[in-house]
Structure 1
Amino acid sequence: MGLTPSVAGVLGLPFMRAMRSRYPDIRLRVVESLSGSLNSMLASRQIDLAVLYDVTRTQHFSVTRLLTERLYVIGASHSELPPRDEPLSLVNLGSLPLVLPSNSHRLRSLIDEAFARIGRKPNVVAEIDGLAMLMEAVGDGFGFTVQPGAALARHTDPRFLAREVIDEDFHRSSHLASLSDDELSPAGHAARIVLVETATELVQSGGWTGAAIAP
C-alpha cells in the first residue's frame, strides 16, 4: 500500500488498525513516498494500490476518485494573517512569503495554476521537497505554506496556525489506484475496501480536516 506523506499522517494508522482488526492474517507493507514515485511503483507492480494525486491512467489500473481536500494557509503561531472573521482568498496571499514544494509536485502545480487564474504569482521564498522539513521551516518562521488539512495531522502542537483558503476551485483531489481487478490479490481487494471505509469514517467523523468524500 502506498501513501503520500500528508495522507499517511491522517490515514496510515487508522487503516493499519482496521486491517489488523478485520484481517489479522494479512501482512501489510506500507510505503510512504511522493505521489509520482508511488505512481511509478504501482506501474512496475512493486505495490498493489496507492492513494495518488497524479494518476497515470492505463488499462492496467483501476482508479477511483476518493476524496477532495480544501487547502489551508499554514504559518507559525506568532505570524500574522487577516482576522478569522475575514475570508482568506488567494488575493490575500500575494505578498506572503511562501515555503512550497518544487515544481515536481502536483500540489505546487495546483497552487501555481490557481495564482495564474487571478493574474498573480506566489511569493516563493524557499522550496522544500519533504513535508517534515517544510513544516519545520514554517514552524520556525521562515514563511507560510499552502497545504491540505492532512498536513497538520502530525503537527498538532501550538506552533502552527491554519486558515482555509475560500476560493471555490482551490482544492486537491485524491484517487485510489490499484492494479486491475484481475491482477489484484484477495488480500489487495480486502485492503482496498478497508481503505475506502476507513477514509470515509475519518471524513464523516471530522478526523480528516477539510476533506470531503468525492461524489
Structure 2
Amino acid sequence: MSDFYQVLGINRTASPDELKRAYRKLAHQYHPDKAGAGNEAKFKEINEAYQTLSDPNKRANYDRFGSADGPAGFGGFGGRSGGPNAASGAGFGGFEDIFGSGIGDIFGEFFGAAMSQLQVELEVSLTQLLLGDEIEFKLNGEKLKFTLPPNTREGVSIRFAGKGQAYRGGRGDLIVTLRQKPIGKLSSEQRRLFEQLRQTGL
C-alpha cells in the first residue's frame, strides 16, 4: 500500500489546512469526470488517504502502526498489513519453522541449567589464602575438595560442574565463593605482618 502522505504530496507534519488544500487540488486534478486527466484508481487512492489523515484518531494510528485501524490492522506474521511502516513477514510461521520443533527444548535446557546453578560461600583462613592449601568440605552429604593456590584473594569463585541443583536436563553447576574467616585477637604487630604478607603474596 502506498504512503498516504506521499499520495497527497505532503509531509508528516502537515496541518489540517495543508491536508485539505492538497486533497482538493488532487481531487480536482484526478476526478474521473474530468476529461483527459481523470483517473478513477488514483482518485480512490487520494480519497482513502484523505479519509484516514483527516481523522485525528485514524491519523495517529496510521503514524504509529501504519494502519488506520491501529494494531488490529496488522496481518500478523502471516501476512502484510497496510501502511509504509507496517511489519511484513509473508509465509512466516513462527520460530519452529525456522529453528525446528526442538527450539523449546533448547531454551528449556538453557534456562533450566541457569536456574539450577547453586551458589554458596565457604570460609577459609587468612593463612590458607596466603599460603594455599588442599580444601575439603561437604555439601548435602557429598564431599568435595579443591586445591587453593597461594596468594588467593577473598571473593574468588570456584565452579564445580554438575554439582548444583537437579533439573530436567541434568544438574547445574555449583559456585563456591571464598570468604576469609574472621581473624581472632592479634597484636598490632601480628596484624601488620599479616597485611604485609597479603600485599606481597608471601
Q: Same fold (TM over 0.5)?
A: no
Q: TM-score, normalised by structure 1?
A: 0.17
Q: Which has the higher strand share?
A: 1
Largest Rg, 1 or 2: 2
Give the number of the structure with larger relative contact order, counting CA–CA contacts within 8 Å between residues 6 or more apart: 1
Q: TM-score, normalised by structure 2?
A: 0.18
